[in-house]
Amino acid sequence: MTRIPMDSSSIASVGYEPEKRLLEVEFVTGRLYEYAQVPEPIFRGLQEAESAGRFFSTHIRSAGFPYRKLA
């Protein structure tokens, strides 16, 4: 999956596969996670958020999307 760089102090890059509803989030620590069942508007919101880290915590991590650690 191709990821795009983010202007964030906590998230290095994000990628999304709309047909599978998979979101990849690479953190500045180097950790990489894949989140499943993420609607495209949530991905767009993450890209456009003033604070990507805050948006991620509120709308993705706290929402309970299934995830797995990739790296």
Helix (H, G, I), strand (E, B) or coil at 44: helix
CA distance 69 to 35: 9
Question: What is the model's pLDDT at position 1?
Answer: 86
35 exposed, middle or buried (CB, 10 Å; 0-12, 13-18, 19+)?
buried
pLDDT band at 2 (very low <50, low <70, confident <90, very high): very high
CA distance 40 to 48: 12
Helix (H, G, I), strand (E, B) or coil at 55: helix
pTM metric for this prediction: 0.94
Q: What's the pLDDT tens digit per position in 25-47?
A: 999 999 999 999 999 999 999 99
